[in-house]
Amino acid sequence: MIEWDDRETSGAEQDDPFRSVFGSAIVPLPPRPGAYEQVARRARRRRMARSAAAVVSAAAGVAAVGLAGIEARHAVAGHPAAVARSVSPAPSMTSSAMSVESPATSATSATSAAVRLCTSSDITVTPYDQVAGPARIGFVLLATNRSASTCRIAGYPRVTIRPSTASWTALTAAQGGTTLAGDPGAHEVVLAPGSSASAEAEWSMPGSDCQSSERDGIQVDVTLPGGAALHSEWPSPKGCVPTEAAVTALKAYVATPR
Amino acid sequence: MSEPATMTAAVPVRRSQSPAAADEAKAAELFAAHYPRLAGWIRRLVDDDETAHEIASEAFTRLLSRWHRVDGPAGYLYVIAANLVRDHWRRADRERRALRSQRDRSGGAEPATDGADAGLDLRSLVTSLPDRLRVPVLLHYYADLPIADIAQLLGRPPGTVKSDLAQARRALRQAWDGAR
Q: Is residue B55 predicted with pLDDT exceeding 90?
A: yes
Q: Give the span between the Cα atoms of B19 and B23, in whole angstroms.
A: 6
Q: Which of A42-51, B26-35, B168-177 has the lowest mean pLDDT?
A: A42-51
Question: Which residues in chain A are closer than 8 Å to B64, comparing Cβ atoms?
Answer: 39-40, 43
Contact B38, B59 (CB under 8 A): yes
Q: How far is CA B110 from CA A118, B89, B95, B102, B103, in A?
A: 46, 21, 15, 11, 8
Distance from CA of A139 to the nearest CA of B (A): 12
B58-92 residue pLDDT tens: 999 888 877 655 556 777 788 888 878 887 887 77
Q: Give the span between the Cα atoms of A82 and A63, in whole angstroms.
A: 28
Say yes or no for a CB contact (<8 Å) between A132 and B154: yes
ipTM summary value: 0.71
Higher pLDDT, A195 or A69: A195
Higher pLDDT, A6 or B157: B157
Q: Give the span between the Cα atoms of A104 and A246, in whole angstroms.
A: 35
Mean pLDDT, residues A59-87 taken together:
34
Highest mean pLDDT among A29-38, B3-12, B132-141: A29-38
Mean pLDDT, residues A62-85 taken together:
33
Distance from CA of B142 to the nearest CA of A (A): 7
Higher pLDDT, B30 or A65: B30
Q: Which of A45-59, A120-134, B142-156 has the lowest mean pLDDT?
A: A45-59
Contacts 24+ apart (CB under 8 A), A46-54: A46/A254, A46/A256, A46/A257, A46/B61, A46/B62, A46/B65, A47/B65, A47/B67, A49/A254, A49/A257, A50/A182, A50/A254, A50/B65, A53/A86, A53/A88, A53/A184, A53/A251, A53/A252, A53/A254, A54/A182, A54/A183, A54/A184, A54/A185
B136-161 residue pLDDT tens: 888 888 777 888 888 877 777 888 88
- Give the nearest chain B residue to A16 (CA atoms): B141
Say yes or no for a CB contact (<8 Å) between A130 and B58: no
* CA-based nearest residue to A135, from B98, B119, B107, B72: B72
Q: How far is CA B53 from CA B30, B46, B49, in A?
A: 16, 10, 6
Higher pLDDT, B114 or A109: B114
Q: Which of A32-46, A210-224, B116-130 has the lowest mean pLDDT?
A: B116-130
Higher pLDDT, A22 or A26: A26
Mean pLDDT, residues A131-152 taken together:
83
Q: Is residue A154 predicted with pLDDT exceeding 60?
A: yes
Shortest CB distance from B155 goes to which of A18, A78, A135? A135
Q: Is the dihedral of CA B75, B77, B80, B86 positive or negative?
A: negative
Q: Give the span between the Cα atoms of B24 and A24, in whole angstroms.
A: 34
**What local confidence, expressed as pLDDT, does residue B94 receive?**
75
Probe site for chain A from B3, B156, B164, B176 (most A CB atoms < 10 A) = B156
Higher pLDDT, B37 or A26: B37
- A117 DSSP assignment: B
- B150 DSSP assignment: H
A184-217 residue pLDDT tens: 889 999 999 999 999 999 888 776 667 666 777 7
Q: Give the span between the Cα atoms of B8 and B115, in whole angstroms.
A: 42
Question: Which residues in chain A are closer than 8 Å to B79, comparing Cβ atoms?
Answer: 132
**What local confidence, expressed as pLDDT, does residue A73 receive?**
27
Question: Which residues in chain A are closer than 8 Å to B67, comparing Cβ atoms?
Answer: 43, 47
**What local confidence, expressed as pLDDT, does residue B158 receive?**
87
Higher pLDDT, B1 or A152: A152
Q: Is residue B37 predicted with pLDDT exceeding 80?
A: yes
Question: Which residues in chain B are closer than 8 Å to A70, comparing Cβ atoms?
Answer: none
Tally of CB atoms within 10 A around A57 = 21
Q: Which of A9-23, A53-67, B49-63, B85-99 has the lowest mean pLDDT?
A: A53-67
**What local confidence, expressed as pLDDT, does residue A112 receive?**
62
Tally of CB atoms within 10 A around A62 = 16
Q: Is residue A62 predicted with pLDDT exceeding 50?
A: no
Residues A164-200 as b or e (16 or more Cβ within 10 Å = b): eeeeeeebebebebbbbbbbbbbbbbbbbbbbbbbbb
Mean pLDDT for chain B?
74
Question: Which residues in chain A are closer than 8 Å to B83, comparing Cβ atoms?
Answer: 77, 129-130
Position B98, amino acid: A
Q: Which of A84-98, A166-180, B7-21, B137-151 has the lowest mean pLDDT?
A: A84-98
Probe site for chain A from B2, B54, B64 (most A CB atoms < 10 A) = B64
Say yes or no for a CB contact (<8 Å) between B71 and A134: yes
Q: Is residue A100 predicted with pLDDT exceeding 60?
A: no
Q: Band the pLDDT of A150: cuts 50, 70, 90.
A: very high
Give the 3-state secondary structure of residue A29. Answer: coil
Question: Which residues in chain A are closer than 8 Å to B143, comparing Cβ atoms?
Answer: 26
Q: Give the span between the Cα atoms of A176 and A247, in whole angstroms.
A: 6
A216-245 residue pLDDT tens: 778 889 999 999 998 887 777 777 888 888
Q: Band the pLDDT of A117: cuts 50, 70, 90.
A: very high
**What local confidence, expressed as pLDDT, does residue A105 receive?**
26
What are the percentages of helix, strand and coil residues in chain B, rounded to 5? 75, 0, 25
Q: Give the span between the Cα atoms of B145 and B163, in whole angstroms.
A: 16
Higher pLDDT, A77 or A48: A48
Q: Band the pLDDT of A249: cuts 50, 70, 90.
A: very high
Q: Band the pLDDT of A5: cuts 50, 70, 90.
A: very low
